[in-house]
Amino acid sequence: MGVKNPWEPVQTYSNTQTPRLRKELNVHNKDGSFGILTTQVSKLIDWGRSSSLWPALFGLACCAIEMMSTTGSRFDLARFGAEVYRASPRQADLMIVAGRCSVKMAPVLRQIYDQMPHPKWVISMGACASCGGVFNNYAIVQGVDKIVPVDVYVPGCPPTPDMLLFGFTELQRKIREGIPNPPDPLEASGLKLVGPVGEDQ
Q: Which residues of the chain form contacts with ligand SF4 (CB under 6 A)?
A: 61-63, 99-100, 126-128, 133, 157-158
Which of 123/175 has CB closer to ligand SF4?
A: 123
Say how far apart CA 79 and CA 172 lie, in whole Å: 13
Considering the complex, what minimum distance in angstroms separates the CB of residue 146 from ligand SF4?
16
Is 101 among the annotated ligand-binding positions? Answer: no
In angstroms, give the least distance from the CB of 126 to ligand SF4: 3
Q: How far is the CB of 121 from ligand SF4 (least distance, A)?
A: 20
Nearer to ligand SF4, 61 or 108 (CB): 61
Task: Tell me: is residue 63 an annotated ligand-binding position.
Answer: yes
- Between CA 104 and CA 105, with CA 153 as vertex, the angle to 5 degrees is 10
Q: How far is the CB of 81 from ligand SF4 (least distance, A)?
A: 25
> Cβ of residue 105: shortest distance to ligand SF4, in angstroms?
12
Amino acid at the residue 40: Q
Q: Which is nearer to ligand SF4, 65 or 194 (CB)?
A: 65
Comparing CB distances to ligand SF4, the nearer of 57 and 62 is 62
Q: Which helix (H) or strand (E) holds 94?
A: strand 94-98
Q: State the SS3 of 107-146.
A: HHHHHHHHHCCCCCEEEEECHHHHHCCCCCCCCECCCHHH
Long-range own/partner contacts, residues 180-187 (CB < 8 A, 24 or more apart) = 181/119, 181/120, 181/121, 181/149, 181/151, 182/145, 182/149, 182/150, 182/151, 183/149, 184/148, 184/149, 185/145, 185/146, 185/147, 185/148, 185/149, 186/110, 186/147
**Closer by beta carbon to ligand SF4, 14 or else 136:** 136
**Residue positions in the annotated binding site?**
62-63, 128, 157
**Residue positions in the annotated binding site for [4Fe-4S] cluster?**
62-63, 128, 157
